[in-house]
Structure 1
Amino acid sequence: MCVIEERPVIETQRLTLRAPAKADVERVAAYCADRDVARMTTRMPWPYTRAHAEDFVARCGAQDRSRDNTFAIHLADEGMVGTLGMFTTAEGEIELGYWIGRPYWGKGYATEATRGALSWVRERWKKRYVTAGHFADNDASGRVLVKAGFLYTGVVEHKPSIARGEPAATRMMVWLA
């Protein structure tokens, strides 16, 4: 049985994963205005504006938390450094995605947040299977997912990238609890 929490919070060693709030809009807008952040996601437009950030935070607040959860990745004494989301696909699978602001790349935050989210999905949603993918030209994201316990499936899909304006080869992965 899936436990539904109105505003779930996940604590890791260095991070707090919590619902995005209006106070995060400025940081979301600033980090997502970086083309290199936007182009490694499927849903993020570029150029990215404050209005996009406001809409993003509002949509996160309206999610059906029994199916989808987006978390702000919060670093103590810094603030929000990225987001991580888990979404139920049309096929009923849970898919994980994330982005981290450029000043925080290479510090292990994406891996730590992903591990925390996977533990939460296993414990709260009672799920034992999660999918993810990374664009083939984003090896760093592949390393994050491998360190978090994902395995390559051998499947390459062409997923849309709004910021790129075209589909991008996406290496698909799976996590099994």
Structure 2
Amino acid sequence: MFIRSERLFLRPAWPEDWAELHVAIDDADVVRNLARAPWPYKAEDAHWFVNRPQDAHHPDFLITLPGAEGARIIGCAGIAPGEQGAVELGYWIARSHWGRGFATEAARAVLSVARSLGQDRIEASHFLDNPASGRVLRKLGFTPTGEHRPRRSAGRGAVVTSVVYEIRLGTATGGDGGDGGAGGSEGEPMRRAA
């Protein structure tokens, strides 16, 4: 499955993407905001991510930015099975592309796919010390549930408190604007890379 948004092209990961993916995510400030990506992020983690089977009901995508020299990988976004039967949105953007609205744009595109797959309620979360991700979620139309959950961060090697949000796709009215970088809650298919 492929998605074209205003500035971005979202596509599945391919085995030959491992090195470029590794360069994009190999940043402690990105990985610390993800639940399942390990730190340090190794080449074998990137190999694992690009070679794992895709889940047609819970797709994830490499976020690429088309340009004169081709489409460069700048992040990842997708939906995944979450806790207690929920479907979760997760995303990250390489630090060199923070603050340009790419997380919001990519996540909005993923939510449109989730809606077309029949998903109604989507959850997302961010660690308390990553409020920029909460701003992205609110721009997308997510609302806080009022719940704070302990969540394991593989990159930090610790359990960290996360703020939980939800959206009902039948009534979503996401806004637009910038983003603050990496974030979102990470489900199993996004483990280790996104």
Q: Same fold (TM over 0.5)?
A: yes
Amino acid at match of 1:63: Q
* Larger relative contact order (CA 8 Å, sep ≥ 6): 2
Q: 1:65 maps to which residue?
A: 56
SS of 2:111 mapped into structure 1: helix
Counterpart Cα distance in 1 of 2:74 and 2:126? 19
* 3-state secondary structure, aligned to 1:140: helix
1:21 Cα deviation from its structure 2 partner: 1.5
Give the match for residue 47 of structure 2: 54
Q: Hey, what's the Cα distance between the residues in 1 that align with 2:21 and 2:141?
A: 27
Question: Is there any run of 5+ residues in structure 2 with no aligned partner, and where?
Answer: 170-194
> How many percent identity over aligned positions?
39
TM-score by length of 1: 0.89
**CA contact 1:97–1:132 (8 Å) conserved in 2:** yes
Amino acid at match of 1:163: G
Quote the offset at 1:85 in angstroms: 2.0
Q: Are the equivalent residues in 1 in contact too, given 2:59–2:80 (CA < 8 A)?
A: yes
Residue 95 of structure 2 corresponds to residue 102 of structure 1: yes
Question: Runs in 1 of length 4+ with deviation above 3 angstroms?
Answer: none
Residue deviations 1:143-176 (CA, integer Å, cap 9, x gap): 1111111111110001100010001110000011
TM-score scaled by length of structure 2: 0.82
Structure 1 residues 1-177: aligned runs within 5 Å: 8-59=1-52, 62-66=53-57, 68-77=58-67, 78-89=71-82, 91-123=84-116, 125-177=117-169
Alignment size in residue pairs: 166
Q: Note the alpha carbon deviations across 1:41-98, whole angstroms, 9 max, x for none.
A: 0000111111110111112xx13312x2110001101411000121123533210111
Cα deviation, residue 101, structure 1: 0.5
